[in-house]
């Protein structure tokens, strides 16, 4: 059986009833009932990002389970891992004597932008021709190849799976990247489980050099638990700098509750998780089939996500989510066009009831309203300059012509409509209205 050294240590410490003359201030016993196992870096508890003991052993367990070249924990989500990935890309570019430029699919999470601004990285955006939502950005391989050839970026950065459950063709992107000497970095925040499918679909297995997984999004892990993975074939420079890259941005007080959760997940993953997944997927596929037959557009190719576009049967995504809420079902995300639900083997029993409810909603006249198209952005100042400028918050309706200073997004999905440094166009204002964004932060003056 796989070891759980962090959990074992915390349990033994709690059982020892030691008088805690150290942080945290709750001394193991206040308010929530979970404080007993909430530790700091006392003797034996190891040090995240300078790990030689129980954390190292646990991270090695994770690295073997995922079959990567290196896997390290984050107690601060994929957000921390994305910052670390971008820093490593800067180092990689430096080693090649190049200025850091990253080609990125436009549906990147806002952390990608703030990290690029702080690290002074230039972004070369890749847009999609068939963009039906700001949340998705399927790439045309010809555009990708042209950009890799002409701009010679240090890396290509893609979000896969995206919030709606679209999965990119990672093997094809990896091949192109490697042909042009670029790294492939993947925001796999939504796809930690892909490793455990009957056919391994994890980005690292498919050719990505580095990627982050929010363990907490799809695995039974506390919020904040995430992995940063480096592939075996990635340049050695990445593996030798991963700890430092994470340490550069991380808190020096990582949550030991989250670390225990990641540690315990190793045993869960090793112990029949793949079989549980294999049992869940046919149930979800059957539900998707029934929902499509009822008239819903079922989107995406990510097995554990159920994304519906219900306008064809006369419902907006957010209306349908409100209807489910009346039935005490809370979805992951809804906007005017889509409703996204996420499943694990632990909530498989809900699938039947959900399908029944969704297939009994009253059909109405199709909703014809579509998201406003946004034209190509006009960059007025650099991303970095915008993020570091003096800012003011104004009504989104009055923002036309101003320059965006802070990512104005709904969270989830936290995908910016306009990027900092770009001019806010009339169509962007329409988009803000459509997605319910009321205020934006713009460059002052
Ligand atoms: C695509 C994507 N990337 C990154 C993140 C950030 O992940 P975390 O919440 O684990 O920091 C999110 C969070 O919603 C996300 O959806």
Other beta carbons within 10 angstroms of residue 81's beta carbon come to: 31
Is the same domain home to 199 and 112?
A: yes
124-148 b/e (C-beta count within 10 Å ≥ 16 → b): ebbebeebbbbbbbbbeeeebeebb
Listed residues 243, 268, 293: the one ending a domain: 268
For 309-327, what is the mean pLDDT?
98
Is the same domain home to 343 and 321?
A: yes
For residue 412, pLDDT beyond 70: no
Range of the domain at 295: 278-358
Is the same domain home to 227 and 97?
A: yes
Listed residues 268, 297, 315: the one ending a domain: 268
77 lines ligand 1 (CB under 6 A): yes
pTM summary value: 0.97
Residue 415: per-residue pLDDT: 84
Query: Is 282 contained in some domain?
Result: yes
202 lines ligand 1 (CB under 6 A): no
Q: Which two tokens stand for residue 441?
A: 């932060």
Is the same domain home to 434 and 299?
A: no
Is the same domain home to 22 and 93?
A: yes
301 alpha carbon – ligand 1 mean position (Å): 19
Query: Is 375 contained in some domain?
Result: no
Q: How far apart are CA 270 and CA 61, in angstroms?
A: 9
231 lines ligand 1 (CB under 6 A): no
What is the chain's mean pLDDT, rounded? 95
Q: Which DSSP string corresponds to 129-197?
A: TT-SSTT--PPPHHHHHHHHHHH--SEEEEESS-TT-----HHHHHHHHHHTT-EEEEE-TT-GGGGGS
Query: Is 367 contained in some domain?
Result: no
Q: Which two tokens stand for residue 189?
A: 């925040």
For residue 87, pLDDT beyond 80: yes
Q: Which two tokens stand for residue 184?
A: 């492939």
191 lines ligand 1 (CB under 6 A): no
Listed residues 315, 342, 358: the one ending a domain: 358
Is the same domain home to 259 and 343?
A: no
Q: How far apart are CA 164 and CA 306, in angstroms?
A: 8
Is the same domain home to 146 and 238?
A: yes
Mutating to test ligand 1, I would choose from 78, 255, 413 the residue with most ligand atoms within 8 A of its C-beta, which is 78
For 256-265, what is the mean pLDDT?
98
**Backbone dihedral angles phi then psi of residue 301, each to the nearest 5 degrees:** -125, 20
Query: Is 249 contained in some domain?
Result: yes
Query: Is 364 contained in some domain?
Result: no
Q: What percent of the chain has pLDDT over 90?
A: 92
Residue 411: per-residue pLDDT: 57
For residue 414, pLDDT beyond 90: no
Is the same domain home to 43 and 159?
A: yes
Strand 339-342, strand 226-230: pairing: unpaired
CATH number at residue 307: 3.90.1150.10
Is the same domain home to 417 and 316?
A: no
Question: Which residue minimizes the CA distance to atom 12 of ligand 1?
Answer: 189
The pLDDT tens digits for 3-17 are 999 999 999 999 999
197 lines ligand 1 (CB under 6 A): no
Q: How far apart are CA 341 and CA 324, in angstroms?
A: 11
Other beta carbons within 10 angstroms of residue 414's beta carbon come to: 16
CATH number at residue 127: 3.40.640.10
Residue 179: per-residue pLDDT: 98
Is the same domain home to 181 and 136?
A: yes
Query: Is 193 contained in some domain?
Result: yes
The pLDDT tens digits for 206-249 are 999 999 999 999 999 999 999 999 999 999 999 999 999 999 99
List Cα–Cα distances, 240 to 51, 69, 157, 276, in angstroms.
14, 11, 21, 35
pLDDT classification of 131: cutoffs 50, 70, 90 = low
DSSP designation for 423: B
Strand 305-309, strand 404-406: pairing: unpaired
Residue 133: per-residue pLDDT: 78
Query: Is 36 contained in some domain?
Result: yes
If one counts the domains in the chain, the total is 3
Residue pair 70/230 in contact by the 8 Å Cβ criterion:
yes
Residue pair 172/189 in contact by the 8 Å Cβ criterion:
no
Is the same domain home to 201 and 330?
A: no
Other beta carbons within 10 angstroms of residue 256's beta carbon come to: 26
Mutating to test ligand 1, I would choose from 73, 74, 76, 77 the residue with most ligand atoms within 8 A of its C-beta, which is 77
78 lines ligand 1 (CB under 6 A): yes
85 alpha carbon – ligand 1 mean position (Å): 14
Residue 376: per-residue pLDDT: 87
Is the same domain home to 322 and 387?
A: no
Angle at 238 between CA 262 and CA 204, to 5 degrees: 55
**Backbone dihedral angles phi then psi of residue 206, each to the nearest 5 degrees:** -90, 0
Q: Which residues are CB-neighbours of 427 under 8 A, at least 6 positions away?
A: 372, 373, 374, 375
CATH number at residue 420: 3.90.105.10
For 391-414, what is the mean pLDDT?
86
For residue 19, pLDDT beyond 90: yes
159 lines ligand 1 (CB under 6 A): yes
Query: Is 363 contained in some domain?
Result: no
412 lines ligand 1 (CB under 6 A): yes
């Amino acid at each position: 059986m796989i070891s759980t050294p962090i959990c074992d240590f915390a349990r033994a410490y709690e059982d020892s009833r030691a008088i805690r003359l150290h942080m945290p201030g709750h001394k193991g016993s206040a308010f929530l009932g979970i404080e007993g196992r909430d530790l700091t870096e006392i003797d034996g508890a190891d040090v995240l990002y300078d790990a030689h003991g129980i954390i190292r052993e646990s991270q090695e367990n994770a690295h073997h389970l995922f079959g990567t070249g290196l896997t390290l924990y984050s107690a601060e989500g994929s957000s921390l891992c994305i910052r670390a990935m971008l820093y490593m890309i800067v180092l990689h570019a430096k080693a090649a004597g190049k200025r850091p430029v990253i080609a990125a699919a436009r549906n990147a999470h806002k952390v990608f932008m703030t990290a690029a601004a702080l690290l002074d990285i230039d972004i070369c955006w890749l847009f999609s021709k068939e963009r039906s939502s700001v949340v998705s950005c399927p790439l045309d391989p010809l555009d990708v190849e042209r950009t890799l050839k002409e701009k010679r970026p240090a890396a290509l950065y893609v979000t896969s799976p995206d919030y709606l459950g679209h999965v990119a063709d990672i093997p094809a992107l990896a091949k192109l990247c490697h042909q042009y000497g670029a790294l492939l970095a993947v925001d796999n925040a939504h796809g930690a489980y892909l490793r455990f499918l009957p056919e391994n679909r994890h980005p690292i297995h498919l050719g990505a050099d580095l990627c982050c997984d929010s363990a907490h999004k799809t695995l039974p892990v506390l919020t904040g638990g995430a992995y940063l993975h480096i592939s075996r074939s990635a340049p050695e420079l990445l593996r030798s700098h991963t700890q430092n890259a994470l340490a550069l941005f991380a808190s020096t007080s990582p949550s030991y509750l989250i670390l225990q959760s990641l540690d315990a997940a190793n045993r869960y993953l090793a112990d029949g998780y793949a079989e549980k997944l294999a049992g869940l997927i046919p149930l979800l596929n059957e539900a998707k089939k029934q929902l499509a037959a009822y008239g819903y557009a079922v989107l995406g190719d990510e097995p554990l996500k159920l994304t519906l576009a219900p306008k064809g049967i006369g419902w907006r995504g957010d209306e349908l989510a409100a209807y489910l809420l009346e039935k005490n079902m809370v979805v992951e995300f809804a906007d005017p066009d889509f409703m996204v639900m996420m499943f694990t083997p632990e909530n498989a029993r809900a699938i039947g009831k959900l399908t029944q409810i969704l297939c009994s909603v009253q059909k109405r006249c199709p909703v014809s309203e579509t998201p406003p198209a946004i034209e190509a952005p006009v960059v007025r100042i650099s991303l970095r300059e915008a993020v570091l400028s003096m800012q003011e918050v104004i009504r989104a309706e009055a923002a036309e012509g101003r320059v965006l200073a802070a990512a104005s997004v709904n969270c989830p999905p936290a995908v910016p409509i306009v990027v900092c440094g770009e001019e806010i166009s009339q169509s962007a204002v329409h988009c803000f209205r459509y997605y319910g964004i009321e205020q934006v932060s713009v460059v002052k003056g």
